[in-house]
Amino acid sequence: MEFTAHQIAAIISGKIEGNAQAAVHSFGKIEEAQTGELAFLANPKYEEFLYSTKASVIIINESQELKENISATLIRVPDAYTAFATLLQTYEKLKAGQLVGIQEPSYVSKSAQLGEQVFIGAFSYVGENVKIGKNVKIYPHSFIGNNVSIGDNCTLHPGVKIYHDCKLGNRITIHAGTVIGGDGFGFAPQNDGTYKKVPQIGNVEIEDDVEIGSNCSIDRATIGSTIIHSGAKLDNLIQIAHNVEIGTHTVIAAQTGVSGSTKIGNKVMIGGQVGIVGHITIADGSRINAQSGVSKSMKQPNSVVTGSPAYDYTSTLRSQAVFRTLPEMEKRIAELEQLIKQLMAEKESI
């Protein structure tokens, strides 16, 4: 596909400087882009490449001042990074729009209801009483269990598994290998040391505009629902246990695990490899630094913790500063002890 600078500017509401008919057919990083490619500049660290790139069209911030003449056509916008993201989303939709229909071999139950412009890739399974909205793309080797509902404009990448009774809203993206609605880790200890499985009869509910990375596990609730609220973003390799609730616009980085029945608030930021115990609450706006272990509720909104066990971020920095001085402090204490001994010996000799 080929687009002119004029067409691109219309999509991102930008102002053109240069040839409005300059055409591009692909994207490139500003330091590597070639003729016929579109690039963008958002990070000042890459400003030097603005004057050497061969890109035909470049998206830049309105505030960007030019130090040299540039041959490329510029499109100025308030935020180049956001504009570029919008453009990529539009490009993806155009490509995905070409995929329609059911590839063979696949199984789609006769009781399933499919909306308009749905694509189901080869070797996929769609169970009984499934409801799929319009413009949904389900890529090969996916499994949609009985009674699952999927809203409009969703994308399920290859190998996604959605167990029975789960509910997905609109504009949801789930990447390859993720499992939605597997059994929660529920086992009752017995007197003889064995464990009896507790059936997990709830489901998972995912609201609008959620994105979930690859190879994640979102467990179904024991009773009720595991809930991911609208706008939440989950990275790859994340474990969400049964009956967890994740608030709106919360972001969670890779390799994080959240134990059962924990409630995470809105607009929370959780770094990579964080472990969160079960049955606690995380207040709105909280930030949890990477590799932290959270063992108790964070009740104060907008607080920041770090470490394992997780502790107030500012206090932790002070402790780390003291820790770095321990060798010197030890030396000074030894000198003081020696001085005290000398003074005591002098006192006894008087």
Q: Which residues are catalytic?
A: 242
Half-sphere exposure of 319 (CA within 13 A, CB side): 8
Q: Which residues contact 189 (CB under 8 A, 6 or more apart)?
A: 195
The CA R_g of the chain, rounded to the nearest whole Å, is 28
Q: What is the longest distance spanned by two Cα atoms in the chain?
A: 106
Task: Give the phi and the psi of residue 190 in degrees, each rounded to 5.
Answer: -105, 165
Task: Give the phi and the psi of residue 288 in degrees, each rounded to 5.
Answer: -120, 115
Q: Which residues contact 123 (CB under 8 A, 6 or more apart)?
A: 105, 106, 140, 141
- The structure tokens 């882009």 sit at 33
Q: Return d(Cα 62, Cα 273) in angstroms, integer.
A: 38
* Among 325, 318, 251, CA closest to 288: 251
- The structure tokens 């890779």 sit at 254
